[in-house]
Structures are given as C-alpha cells and as structure tokens.
Amino acid sequence: MAKPILANKKICFVGAGAMAEAILRGVIDKGIAHADHVFVVNRHNQNRLQELRRTYGVQIHSDKKVQERFIADADIVLLAMKPKDVEEALGQIKASVHKPQLIISVIAGLSIQSMLQYLESDLAIARTMPNTSSTIGLGATGISFSAQVTEDQRSMTMAIFEAIGIAEVVEEPLLEVVTGVSGSGPAYVYYFIEQLVEAAVEGGLSLETAKKLAVQTVLGAASMVQETGEEPAVLRKKVTSPNGTTQAALEKMDELGFPNAVKQAVHRSSERARELGALMEIRPKEKG
Ligand SMILES: NC(=O)C1=CN([C@@H]2O[C@H](COP(=O)(O)OP(=O)(O)OC[C@H]3O[C@@H](n4cnc5c(N)ncnc54)[C@H](O)[C@@H]3O)[C@@H](O)[C@H]2O)C=CC1
Ligand SMILES: O=C(O)[C@@H]1CCC=N1
C-alpha cells in the first residue's frame, strides 16, 4: 500500500536507463508511488519509453512540449542520465524546473554545487548514490541534501530510497566513498560470482550446478553477516579449520593480493567519481 507521504506526488524521471528502471520499478512494486504519478522522459529512444510503459504502466509521451510539462508539473524530478549527458540534459530542463520542486540526482560525481550552477536556481536537491539492487528492494543508497531541502522533501526522499532498500544520509564528500562501496559494489560481487562459477566449471561441475552453488554461497554468506550480527572476520574464522581447505584457499588469496585488490578497486571507483565530478564542474570562465 502506498505510503501517504508520496501518494499524490508526481515523480518525473529524466533518463530512462538501468538506474531509472531500478528505482521506478522498486517504487511502483512497493506501492510507494502509483504508476499514474510516475512520468518518464528520455533523450531519443521512444521504444525504451514504450517498453517502460508496457512493463510498469508509467506515463510517457513522444512530444517534447508534453515532456517539458511532465517535468514542470512534477513534485520530484529525478535525474538519471550518464555524466557525459549532464550538460545537455540540464540545459534542456533548466527552463522547466522551479521551486519548490525537489530535484533528486543519482548521477555519480555530480555535486550539488554543480547542479545548482547548471540549473541556475536555488532549488532543493537530494544528491544520492543508489545501486541496481534497488530493483528488487535490496538497494543500498547514500544521500546528501542541499540546504534548501525541507523536512517534507527529506521525508519523501527517505521514503523513496527506503522503499527500495536501505538509505544512509552522509556528508556530501562521502558520497564518493559510497560510490566505491555500494554504488559500484554489485559489479564486484557479480565478478566474484563469475570467477567462482568459472573455477567450478574448470573443476568439472556443470554450469548449472556451479551457478546454483556459487549464488547460494554468496547469498548465504551475506545473510549470515546480516542475521547473526557477527563480524565477517569472526564468521570467516568459523569456516577456516586449522590447516584445512579454507586456510589453504585464503592463503592463496593473500598471496595473490586479493585484499589489496578489493580495497584498491573501491578507492579507484571513488577517485573516478571525483574525476567525473570535476569533468562536470562549470568553470568560472564558462559561465555566461
Ligand atoms: N547503473 C548503476 O549501477 C548506477 C548508476 N548510477 C548513475 O545513474 C546514472 C544513469 O546510469 P544508467 O542508468 O546506468 O545509464 P543508462 O545509460 O542506462 O541510462 C541513461 C539514460 O539517460 C538518457 N539520457 C541521456 N541524455 C538525456 C537527455 N538529454 N535527456 C533525457 N534523457 C537523457 C539516455 O537516453 C538513457 O536512457 C549515471 O549518472 C550513473 O552514474 C548510480 C548508481 C548506480
Ligand atoms: O559505473 C558507474 O559509473 C555507475 C556509478 C555507480 C555504478 N555505476
């Protein structure tokens, strides 16, 4: 059942890609917003919009003027385009957005300051870093708010992201760390599963059995951390018999630099988010 806080609010997604779909599906499936109140606009791809309408019942239109009205009439405008498209997209919507709308961004690296500059207005902004697991209600989102965001708008933002997973409010510079951990994180886990499966197949298991065992192992291990409340290191030790198989495997992982590889990957993702943010900054000389 829809939470009253969002029941009559209109949300317009600008950008109809993977992340927009993850959020809109989660929000509609969880009943946090009704599909009649969810609008989606995209750059060119009408087929993509049709597909979203067929699947989720969201509101779409091919006419640019109607799309502009979708944006202008929304209570919440959710920005979900790639960093490379930010300049063009924000230039296009600048005339349609206005106070007291809430702008929610999921764009990696794009600072609140840059958004305010692009939109040339003192708007309420929630900068977020979700992940694709939001699709099934298991997302992990970091959120920072601009000074203009009201209590009601904070509550709406939290309601959206808590409907599709967990949400943590952090200081804005820490959103880059969130990006490295949970924004990009699902890909590291999929990569890990891919290697488990490959090794299992190399060992002789069928692909089907390998996938089943690998996925259940990752699911079971994550659930153990969550449900027992024990530290991962403690749980790891319970698997690791002295001089047993797990110890031998972990020694191999240490020898090949697994801990360092994971940590460096997280730091590199955060660093890349900062680089993308810098590329999207409006430099003083570029201002009209
Ligand atoms: N995919 C992920 O796991 C995550 C992505 N993000 C962020 O979400 C944003 C979107 O990522 P994805 O959904 O993966 O990208 P995507 O490429 O799947 O979707 C981007 C969409 O934006 C649309 N678009 C481009 N220019 C536009 C314009 N001028 N007006 C309207 N729509 C326009 C494109 O047509 C496309 O539908 C990125 O900024 C990314 O940093 C954040 C967290 C996780
Ligand atoms: O790869 C990316 O840039 C986006 C941001 C976090 C996850 N995907």
Whether the CB-CB separation of 27 and 46 falls below 8 Å is answered with: no
Query: What is 92-124 written as a DSSP string?
Result: HHTTT--TT-EEEE--TT--HHHHHHHHTS--E
Lowest mean pLDDT, pick from 25-29, 56-60, 91-95: 25-29
Give the pLDDT band (50/70/90) at residue 235: very high
* Euclidean distance between CA atoms 21 and 28, whole angstroms: 10
Tell which atom from ligand 1 comes closest to the C-alpha of 22: 13
Complex ipTM more than 0.95, yes or no:
yes
What was the pLDDT predicted at 1? 52
Nearest one of 81, 91, 119 to 103, comparing CA atoms = 119
Task: Answer whether residue 12 shows pLDDT above 80.
Answer: yes
Closest CA to 176 of 275, 263, 103: 275
Ligand 2 atom nearest residue 186's Cα: 7
Q: For ligand 2, is residue 184 a contact (CB within 6 Å)?
A: yes
CA of 190 to the centre of ligand 2 (A): 14
Structure tokens at 160: 């959206």
pLDDT digits (tens, 9 = 90+) for 168-183: 999 999 999 999 999 9
- The pLDDT of 254-274, averaged and rounded, is 98
